[in-house]
Structure 1
Amino acid sequence: MYRSPAEAAAAPPEPLAYVAGFDRAAARPDALFTVGTDPTSDTYGRVLARTDLSTLGDELHHFGWNACSSALAHAGHHHAERRYLLLPGLRSSRLHVYDTRPDPARPRLVKVIPAAELAAKAGYSRPHTLHCGPDGVFLSCLGGAGDEEGPGGVALLDHETFEVLRAWETDRGPQHLAYDVWWHLHHNVAVTSEWGTPGMVEGGLDPELLLGRRYGHALHFWELDTGRHLQRIDLGDEHQMVLELRPAHDPGRDWGFAGVVVSVADLSASVWLWHRDGDRFAARKVVTLPAEPADPALLPPALRPFGAVPPLITDINLSVDDRWLYVSAWGTGELHQYDVRDPFRPRHTASVRLGGITARAAHPAAPDLPLSGGPQMVEISRDGRRVYLTNSLYGAWDDQFYPEGTGAWLAKLDADTERGGLRPDARFFPHGDAFGGLRVHQTHLAGGDASSDSYCYR
């Protein structure tokens, strides 16, 4: 664990990447893959091991560590070790816990937390995103217990036993829809975002709900230590699906970025900045990506009436030094890089195309292979020099926007951290059979990465 962002960036580079994969047909177990990331090794860019889950139909999505740098907020207290990876099943509501010791390349299953425990102790289902916090593991969930559609919210788990302790919220105010959760530790503020309830997302994007502006379009601010709702900011109901949250890593700052998937007004996508404004928070749009006109004959059925490809911002990530913001446009197949030293005025510095609904842009390692899917989950090394991308969003949504299949690929880009710039690494491109027919969704890096830790010291 690292006391500060600078200490994290100065630590040795990651030797391994962990990648979550899932079987869309639910006929085989989902799996946790390990991939070699040491460029001096003959295992570089290769899948080293596959560890299958013990069940079927989980649909691994987001996952994370049991403990991280935020635990250092409790000076003098026992700190849990960053050792275990917790893998929630978005469809099954189960959690699988893997131990990365003694062999980090081959994690071993040590515990399965059943859906019934999550429902009984926290009142939630469909676990989506987890972050290790100072008091436990925060697990955002889309649904309520059992067949209840909502409200979704955040469950709190023990760092070391992984027992579900309780629901984190004590007064949720108007919050009903859920997606991500993050925080500003030094300011005792948590932030949550909105997607939809299980019934709104599990069958794919529902045009009636989208055009009816019924998906999430707000940010919520909370008192971190009590779970008490403080403020709701509505971004406007045209801005549908407020997903990933990326707060500044510098613990003295109290701003961050949120990605919005689509505007129903013009199919654009956007990034918003939340920031302190007096004794309240405010939010403003700082990045807009327009839709790209396209021949309807080349579009999937869901998009033909519009004659355009929406960018579909499905992930964003902020480098540990808070300088570089990366924005995944999964629809057009682009990863954008912005210089955000002034977070109110991001400056576009580079972009790379891979895949895309109509572009099907190839990777330099396989120039004759048209790619499906697009830059989706993006992960950044602690020093900011390496950017990892996976290409699957969510099974039902993959099928709508890439009906011929997404395949599976993991790409690494080299980033210029001085002037800006991105270049795909032709030596690093595990894809297709490398993942045994599973789709891949999220990557985390051994030793931590840009989205794993919140820091206690500047």
Structure 2
Amino acid sequence: MAARFRPDPTFYPSPTMAMQAPPEQLAYVALLDPTGAKRPDAMAVVDVDPASKSFAQVVGQVDMPNIGDELHHFGWNACSACLCPYAPHPHVERRYLVVPGINSSRIYILDTQPDPKRPHIVRTIEPDEVFRKTGYASPHTTHCGPEGIYVSALGSPDGGGPGGIFMLDHESFDIRGRWEIDRGPQVLHYDFWWHLGHDTLISSEWGTPSMVRNGLDAEALLAGRYGHALHVWDLRRRKHVERLELGAEQQMVLELRPAHNPTRPWGFVGVVVSLKDLSASVWLWFLEGGKWQIKKVIEIPAEPADPAVLPPLLKGFGAVPPLVTDINLSLDDKTLYVSCWGTGEFLQYDVSDPHNPKKTGSVHLGGIVRQAAHPSRPDLKLGGGPQMVEISRDGRRVYFTNSLYAPWDEQFYPGGFDGWMVKLDVPADGKGMALDPKFFLQFEPGLRGHQVRLQGGDASSDSYCYP
């Protein structure tokens, strides 16, 4: 009998079916050298199987061949989007990790087979090739789409704008080129994602490479020059449709988390800081009456603090800003998690009604002032705070790490900090959460964790064409 192509068993037509997937056993975590000069960044493999003797330990690691990459938001080469009816690629495997370096503009392709605990580099796309074929620099976020791999970039090789998206083939990893045909007024760029059921792509704004690579530019911040808008695009025609303005006081509009159900045209985006009062916020974009709209649905105030214990950047304010630097949405679209990297608070909201989120849980770890300890090490003051967050497909486990971006780490935590990763357990109804006392992973000294990806997929790795 002739062999038949079968879809990768980790691909699911709908988020509802993906929630029934087997629990993850491994997590892949990007590790960076915060000095950018002492040693290469690395990809760690972490055992997340509670039945394993090596639970909550690094069981594999591959060091990159270069120094100074600053590995950032990596992703899979292929995912459940390959089952979409208009661009089916069921023969593609979720096998390779596409790993960009935000500082070097280099992209590594890591093969996780034949041993998922021993990923290895099979291709390196050098910066010159990225510059030549796309005109972009500082690749930041990767998403596997129905027809290929989308990669966002913060700007151009000269450090300015515009930023945007370019495409990789998800089998050969050859660069296809820029994605945009008509970018309209869009200049700043950060994250992007889509509503496959509505042929719409949404993008957000941070800053150009020259505005971020040396840390937060206080002058640019106070002048409102960081991103403060979303952009709506025609996904098929690759054209800008409209800009959704949040207001210039809302600075750094970062992580996008659209509803996973493709019939739901809404999503959440986090805003790092308000110039008015140092608060952070979460906004809802939504389609209503044929018109895209946006409104603030969560506001998190700054916390008063003694200037003596604040970093130089904040002494004049006498307060700790929450600094919402990541958010994530469970696959059933009912639970939103919010990382407050400045105060060290990690928040959970019931968003069954996305227009009216209800707070259902909170834990503290780290924080600029609080330095809250983990239950397993009450004696250890922690630096950094909740940052990159990832959720298991069934919504029962949440993981996060504590590093944002090396030059920004230095500004807000000038005393330095060690890299760590934790896990939280969530009950079946999705309300409430508790730190797992057996899962407090401290990475190799001199390395800090950033993006987390779960074996087989997670809440921010896949998109779906069926509800």
Provide TM-score, normalisation by structure 1. 0.98
Q: Which amino acid aligns with 2:457?
A: G
How far has the Cα of 1:417 moved from its partner? Answer: 3.6
Counterparts of 1:16 and 1:352, CA distance in 2: 24
**What's 1:446 paired with?**
455
SS of the residue 1:119 aligns to: helix
Indicate the percent of aligned positions where both proteins have the same amino acid.
59
CA distances 1:236-264 after superposition (whole Å, capped 9, x unpaired):
00000000000000011110000000000
**What's 1:21 paired with?**
31
Distance 1:148 1:402, change over 3 A: closer
**What's 1:457 paired with?**
466
Counterparts of 2:445 and 2:260, CA distance in 1: 36
**What's 1:166 paired with?**
177
**1:104 pairs with 2:116:** yes
How far has the Cα of 1:381 moved from its partner? Answer: 0.3
**What's 1:277 paired with?**
288
For structure 2, which runs of at least 5 residues remain unmatched after alignment?
Answer: 1-10
SS of the residue 2:263 aligns to: coil
Which stretch shows the higher mean deviation, 19-28 or 375-384? Answer: 19-28
How far has the Cα of 1:415 moved from its partner? Answer: 1.2
**1:195 pairs with 2:198:** no
Q: CA RMSD, aligned part only?
A: 1.0
Work out whether residues 159 and 208 of structure 2, in 8 Å CA contact, stay in contact via their aligned partners in 1.
Answer: no
Pick the aligned partner of 2:277 from 258, 266, 270. Answer: 266
Counterparts of 2:246 and 2:416, CA distance in 1: 33
Counterparts of 1:334 and 1:249, CA distance in 2: 25
Counterparts of 1:121 and 1:326, CA distance in 2: 37
**1:350 pairs with 2:365:** no
How far has the Cα of 1:148 moved from its partner? Answer: 4.7
Counterparts of 1:419 and 1:7, CA distance in 2: 17
Pick the aligned partner of 2:127 from 111, 115, 124. Answer: 115
Output aligned runs, 1:287-298, within 5 Å: 287-298=298-309
SS of the residue 2:181 aligns to: coil
Pick the aligned partner of 1:212 from 223, 231, 235. Answer: 223
Counterparts of 1:217 and 1:50, CA distance in 2: 38
Counterparts of 1:427 and 1:128, CA distance in 2: 32
Q: Which amino acid aligns with 2:190?
A: Y
How far has the Cα of 1:110 moved from its partner? Answer: 0.2
Pick the aligned partner of 1:248 from 228, 248, 259. Answer: 259
Counterparts of 2:310 and 2:65, CA distance in 1: 38
Q: Which amino acid aligns with 1:51?
A: V
For structure 1, which runs of at least 5 residues remain unmatched after alignment?
Answer: none
How far has the Cα of 1:121 moved from its partner? Answer: 1.2
SS of the residue 1:429 aligns to: strand
Q: Which amino acid aligns with 2:108?
A: H
How far has the Cα of 1:421 moved from its partner? Answer: 0.7
How far has the Cα of 1:75 moved from its partner? Answer: 6.0
CA distances 1:102-155 after superposition (whole Å, capped 9, x unpaired):
0001101100001111111111100000100011111000011x3151100001
How far has the Cα of 1:277 moved from its partner? Answer: 2.2
**What's 2:17 paired with?**
7
Work out whether residues 47 and 435 of structure 1, in 8 Å CA contact, stay in contact via their aligned partners in 2.
Answer: no
Counterparts of 1:436 and 1:117, CA distance in 2: 33
Q: Which amino acid aligns with 2:138?
A: R
**What's 2:412 paired with?**
401
Output aligned runs, 1:141-180, within 5 Å: 141-144=153-156, 146-180=157-191
SS of the residue 1:407 aligns to: coil
Pick the aligned partner of 2:77 from 66, 70, 74. Answer: 66
Q: Which amino acid aligns with 1:111?
A: R
**1:81 pairs with 2:93:** yes
SS of the residue 2:354 aligns to: coil
How far has the Cα of 1:50 moved from its partner? Answer: 1.1
Provide TM-score, normalisation by structure 2. 0.96
Counterparts of 1:236 and 1:123, CA distance in 2: 29
Work out whether residues 391 and 406 of structure 1, in 8 Å CA contact, stay in contact via their aligned partners in 2.
Answer: no
Counterparts of 1:11 and 1:413, CA distance in 2: 19
Output aligned runs, 1:305-320, within 5 Å: 305-320=316-331
Counterparts of 2:125 and 2:451, CA distance in 1: 21
Q: How many residues align?
A: 455
Work out whether residues 159 and 210 of structure 2, in 8 Å CA contact, stay in contact via their aligned partners in 1.
Answer: no
Q: Which amino acid aligns with 1:265?
A: K
Q: Which amino acid aligns with 1:2?
A: Y
How far has the Cα of 1:78 moved from its partner? Answer: 3.3
**1:338 pairs with 2:355:** no
How far has the Cα of 1:54 moved from its partner? Answer: 1.3
Q: Which amino acid aligns with 2:125?
A: I
CA distances 1:434-456 after superposition (whole Å, capped 9, x unpaired):
33421111100000000000011
Output aligned runs, 1:429-444, within 5 Å: 429-431=440-442, 434-444=443-453
